[in-house]
Structure 1
């Protein structure tokens, strides 16, 4: 049993760096020739980019108050003005995998997150 666990840990350790280098950005960033260095400041990132990296290109963040359905109720919501305070951009907007709406961990808003 211990041997199996050690083999799994070694495999994850050895494969992890190769997977990190193979990660691609989403289509819109790829089409605009955005590379790892544009957001992470290095070619082979080891941690997530800062919110400032997002804001530098996306300074005009949409977020006007709109009406959304939530479990049959209508709510007036500015999706970028969370009642939980300032949230990281990457809680909803994932650059290396499909995005999702962090708010829906509690709500059921019908919003497509780019």
Structure 2
């Protein structure tokens, strides 16, 4: 049911939001295709911050062990960090370009492409 709520009004609200978040970068295509609205991730009707709890990501993407298993063939596996759990939004930022959090301390040691 959550995925069916988007409709025209939800997309218009996402694109016209006054927070500036959607104006910097709209949602990635898979999230638009899934018909997500702001509330689905931010868990607020009119979010004023970028804060998204990991639990909101896990509804669709699975928990930490599921993500670790999904990316098991990546070398190194970004979801098998010794620093687990790292919040999803540390790397996967939906309204801004993604970042590789690992490189803040381990510069030049990894090459990751965040999806």
TM-score range for the pair, normalised by the shorter chain length: 0.5 to 0.7
Separation (CA, whole Å) in 2 of partners of 1:84 and 1:22: 28
Q: Gaps spanning 5+ residues in structure 1: where?
A: 1-16, 68-76
Q: Gaps spanning 5+ residues in structure 2: where?
A: 1-16
Higher relative contact order (Cα pairs below 8 Å, separated by 6+ residues) = 2
Residue 41 of structure 2 corresponds to: 39
Scaled by the length of structure 2, the TM-score of the pair is 0.65
Q: How does 1:1-114 map to 2 (within 5 A)?
A: 18=18, 20=19, 23=22, 24-47=26-49, 48-59=51-62, 60-61=66-67, 62-64=70-72, 66-67=74-75, 77-107=76-106, 108=108, 109-114=110-115
> SS of the residue aligned with 1:103?
helix
Could you say which structure has the higher strand fraction?
1
Q: Say which one has the larger Rg.
A: 1
